[in-house]
């Protein structure tokens, strides 16, 4: 009798638990982060020599006259790749970053350094509190930046 009673309650408990998760605070936090995303532009793909509001490669953009290196990731090179596989993966990362920066407002977060040795601003791009670089990592198009150069070949 007790087993039958528990089994009949379990589906109701699962429905109740599912209803509770629909109202979790996580979506509210994401919505609050999205409201603070104020940077936006129509991004193209940069031609050689840079540009305005364009994507250079999977981890670098030009935005409002500043060249910005996405500080939390590293992507395969598209300019002077070391092998064909790196060139292909770099092109895929560039296309995806282009989609991401054109998908809506974002935020540029400063890190502990303002610029790298090449004069690029070091920033983390986020939307709704989530790193766009982290999305590229999750999609297999980037890796977390750990300093130095590592081969993609």
pLDDT tens-digit profile, the chain (153 residues): 444 433 333 343 333 333 333 333 334 444 455 569 999 999 999 987 677 899 999 999 999 999 999 999 999 999 889 999 999 999 999 999 999 999 999 999 999 999 999 999 999 999 999 999 999 999 999 999 988 888 899
Residues 6+ apart with CB under 8 A from 4: none
Q: Hey, CA dihedral for 116, 95, 135, 141, is it positive or negative?
A: negative
107 Cβ neighbours under 8 A, 6+ residues apart: 36, 37, 38, 39, 125, 126, 127
CA pair distance 139, 147, nearest whole angstrom? 21
Distance of CA 62 to the CA centre of its chain: 16
Instruction: Locate all alpha helices (DSSP H) within 23-153, ordered by sequence.
Output: 26-36, 84-101, 132-138
Query: C-alpha angle with apex 61: 147 to 76, nearest 5 degrees?
Result: 45
pLDDT of residue 140: 95
User: What percent of the chain is helix, strand and coil (3-state, nearest 5)?
Assistant: 35, 25, 35
pTM here is 0.75
- Judged by DSSP in three states, 17 sits in helix
**Backbone phi, then psi, for 86, in 5-degree steps?**
-65, -40
């Amino acid at each position: 009798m007790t087993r039958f009673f528990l089994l009949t309650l379990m589906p109701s408990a699962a429905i109740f638990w599912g209803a509770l998760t629909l109202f979790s605070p996580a979506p509210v936090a994401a919505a609050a982060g999205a409201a603070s995303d104020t940077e936006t532009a129509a991004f193209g793909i940069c031609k050689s020599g840079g540009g305005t509001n364009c994507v250079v490669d999977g981890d670098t953009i030009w935005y409002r006259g500043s060249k910005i290196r996405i500080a939390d990731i590293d992507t395969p090179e598209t300019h002077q790749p070391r092998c064909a596989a790196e060139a292909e993966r770099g092109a895929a990362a560039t296309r995806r970053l282009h989609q991401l920066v054109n998908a809506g407002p974002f935020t540029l977060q400063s890190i502990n350094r303002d610029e790298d040795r090449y004069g690029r601003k070091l920033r983390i791009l986020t939307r709704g509190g989530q790193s766009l670089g982290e999305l590229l990592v999750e999609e297999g198009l980037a890796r977390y930046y750990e300093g130095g150069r590592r081969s993609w070949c």
